[in-house]
Amino acid sequence: MAFSKIDIPRWAQHFLECGIEDCERNCEFYCNPCHQRLCKQCRDEHLKSPENKNHEVVLYQQRKRQLPVEKCKIHPTKDVDMLCEECQVPLCSKCATKGDHPKHTFVDLEDVYAEKFALFQKEISKIHEYFLPTSQDLQKEIKKDSSEIKNLMENIRTSMKTEGETLKSLVDTVISNNMKQLDQIEHSLLEDLNTQDKTMDDYITYLNNLVKELHRCLSSTETQKLMSEKKPKIRSIPETTKPVTPGFTVGQYSKSDVTKLLGKIQVPNTKAEKREIRPIKSVYNTAMKPTHKQMKEDRKKSDKKQTMSLSASVTKVREFNVPGVDDRFWISDDGVFHVSLDQSDRLWISDDAGNLVQTDLQGNVIQKIKTSGRSQGYHTVTQDRGLIFTDQYNKVINRITQDNKITEFIKTGDWSPLSIHSSNINGDLLVGMETYTEAKVTRYNKTGKELQNIQWDNKGQGLYITPHYITENINGDICVSNRSRLVVVVNKSGKHRFSYTGQGSDFYPYGICTDVLGHILVCDGYSDTVHLLDQDGQFLSLLLTEQQGVYRPRSVCVDDENNLYVGQYDTNTLTVYKYLQ
């Protein structure tokens, strides 16, 4: 490719020319004794000369570095070109003949210089190839830990505030209830006292009237009339009761009691673990050395893989219905369209009508959510057991926490998110999305930060058309079912590995998953089968067919016990199979 004057990159340089006069060919070789740059033709001519036949001619990159010219301080006309091995002092040939170095061994200073030069070059290479990148990786890890610490602390603060608000709410509720109870007691007591007061008021009125009547009799002038009056009978004083008043027992609590209610900071007493520094020998390896945690997980997976293999036949274990998933005959495209493994005893299942249902392994509905999802793998469960689902119409990805709060997690701009998968390797989110003209897979980290976009193959052609189901294999490969009648697999860097187009003239891939052995399982809605591929895309078998009762399979999912769950079109029945032993 030719560069114009303004297009020449900063790293460009003129090629190294042969050092022979009037030769303008490229330098490829180097004569160490002559310190002469040579092209291939000049090298051949150089070695033809009898005085040069024993010269060491090497590739230019392997040349011996020429000793810098340095004059002897004692003999200014002589060059320093020797080294006294005993004294480790550079000197000239004339100094070597003097009596200062009797019976000492002298070596060619140029050889020593070349060795030192190569040694220092090697150390520089080590710094650039190992020490700098390793230190930079550790620094990235430190910054990542710093960011995670900030997020962790913020989450703890939020939890503390939430606990405090909850306790405040409970305190307000208890006080409010106590106040209501006290108001009721007060009302009852006062009502009773008011009644007693009215009774006494009536009695006092009666007594006053009686006194007036008796005074009237006494004031009469007719003695006979007074004598005939009977002695008045005074009514008894009405009985009254003293009020029984309530008391208040002051709460018995201490700071530790409140701490138990609100929680406390747990200060770790373990010693900080040293960051792992990869050994320098890994510089010469093509792959980075895995961490201790990765090695432990890989070892567990490897042990499990060694004990697992494909069964001679597929066995139907059981099946159950999911009541919350529509199976009404008037819906054109219903059934179990996607299954996400939640816990060992729970599943999230969706149909084509936007119903997202959580069930146990017997089909008992735990909860149900209404979404805009349709016939794609639009939900997944994260490593921390949170549910993530896409909303292709509003172009967002939502998150449901364990306390069932739905929050907007990621906005996808102009792209409609269709399918989503949470990585079991590192927790990243892989999202298949499209616009009216393009499609891609985007990788986000756990916090929703965009990390990677995968859209084109190495020829610049688009990889995807409507990526409606997506999963990840044990080696990090990203496997996508396209509505364009093929499965596309790229490696974790986004490089296209292979595409699978089925075993017949028509192939309609739907749900896709992988297992502990790296197999790829994909539903074919056209031939009513589930295809089994190896990790490199080689077809192994039609794992399930109509003979096993499979009709238009739409979803597949393998749990931790290697049970295969299959959902189908036009039914809310989920069937469980065993195919590994």
Please indicate, yes or no, whether residues 396 and 498 belong to a single structural domain of this protein. yes
- Is residue 134 domain-shared with residue 45, that is, in the same domain? no
Q: What is the pLDDT of residue 422?
A: 95
* Least confident piece of the model among 93-107, 146-160, 234-248, 253-267: 253-267
pLDDT of residue 402: 67
In this model, does residue 494 exceed pLDDT 50? yes
Q: What is the mean pLDDT of residues 453-482?
A: 92
**Residue of higher predicted confidence among 441 and 280:** 441
Q: At what angle do helices 132-218 and 255-262 cross, to 10 degrees?
A: 120
Q: Which helix (H) or strand (E) holds 30?
A: strand 29-31
- Report yes or no on 291 lying in a domain: no
pLDDT of res. 330? 45
The yes-or-no verdict on residue 99 having pLDDT over 50 is yes
User: Is 515 a member of any domain?
Assistant: yes
Tally the C-alpha atoms within 13 A of residue 474's C-alpha that lie toward its C-beta. Answer: 20
The answer to whether position 72 is within a domain reads no
Q: Are residues 143 and 37 in the same domain?
A: no
Distance CA(115)–CA(109), nearest Å, equals: 10
Mean pLDDT of 93-99: 80
Give the model confidence (pLDDT) of 260-275 as tens digits. 777 777 777 777 777 7
pLDDT at 240 over 80: yes
Q: Assign residue 557 the CATH number of its domain.
A: 2.120.10.30
| Whether residues 400 and 503 fall in one domain | yes
* 341-346, long-range: CB < 8 A, 24+ apart: 341/381, 341/557, 341/559, 341/560, 342/381, 342/385, 342/387, 343/385, 344/559, 344/560, 344/561
Give residues with Cβ within 8 angstroms of 145, minimum separation 6.
none
**What digits encode the pLDDT tens for the residues 495-510?**
999 999 998 778 999 9
Please state the rounded mean pLDDT for residues 101-112: 83
Longest alpha-carbon distance in the chain: 185
55 with 123, same domain? no
Average pLDDT of the chain? 84
pLDDT score, position 214: 83
Residues 220 and 337 in one domain: no
How far, in Å, CA of 502 to CA of 539, rounded?
A: 8
- Predicted confidence band of residue 293 (pLDDT cuts 50, 70, 90): very low
Q: Which residue has the higher pLDDT, 14 or 517?
A: 517
For 254, other C-beta atoms within 10 Å of its C-beta total 8
What is the average per-residue pLDDT within 227-239?
83
Ranges 49-58, 271-280, 463-472: which has the least confidence: 271-280
Task: Look at residues 218, 239, 260 and tell me which one is the last residue of a structural domain.
Answer: 239
Give the pLDDT confidence score for residue 134 in this predicted structure: 86
Do 385 and 530 fall into the same domain? yes
Statement: residue 6 has pLDDT above 70: no
**Number of domains present in the structure of the chain:** 3
- Write out pLDDT tens, residues 390-403: 999 999 999 987 67
Q: Check pLDDT > 70 for residue 15.
A: no
Residue 77 included in any domain: no
The two beta strands, 57-59 and 310-321, are: unpaired
pLDDT at 287 over 50: no
Same domain, 416 and 530: yes
- Residue 315 falls within a domain, yes or no? yes
Residue 443 contacts residue 451 (beta carbons within 8 Å): yes
Q: Containing domain of residue 316, as a range?
A: 305-580
Q: Does residue 200 surpass a pLDDT of 60?
A: yes
The pLDDT tens digits of the residues spanning 121-175 come to 788 878 888 888 888 888 888 898 898 889 888 888 888 888 888 889 888 998 8
Which of the four pLDDT bands, split at 50, 70 and 90, describes residue 2? Answer: very low
Considering the domain architecture, whether residues 121 and 53 belong to the same structural domain is answered as: no
The predicted pLDDT at position 297 comes to 53
87: tokens are: 């004294």
Q: Does residue 5 sit within a domain? A: no
pLDDT-based confidence at residue 414 (cuts at 50, 70, 90): very high
Least confident of 51-60, 323-332, 406-415: 323-332
What pLDDT does 63 receive? Answer: 81
User: What is the b/e burial string over 284-297, where b = at least 16 CB atoms within 10 angstroms of the residue's CB?
Assistant: eeeeeeeeeeeeee
> Residue 439: pLDDT above 60?
yes
Q: Residues 12-38: what's their mean pLDDT? A: 82
**What is residue 554's predicted lDDT score, i.e. its pLDDT?**
94
Question: Any idea what the CATH number is for the domain that residue 20 is in?
Answer: 3.30.160
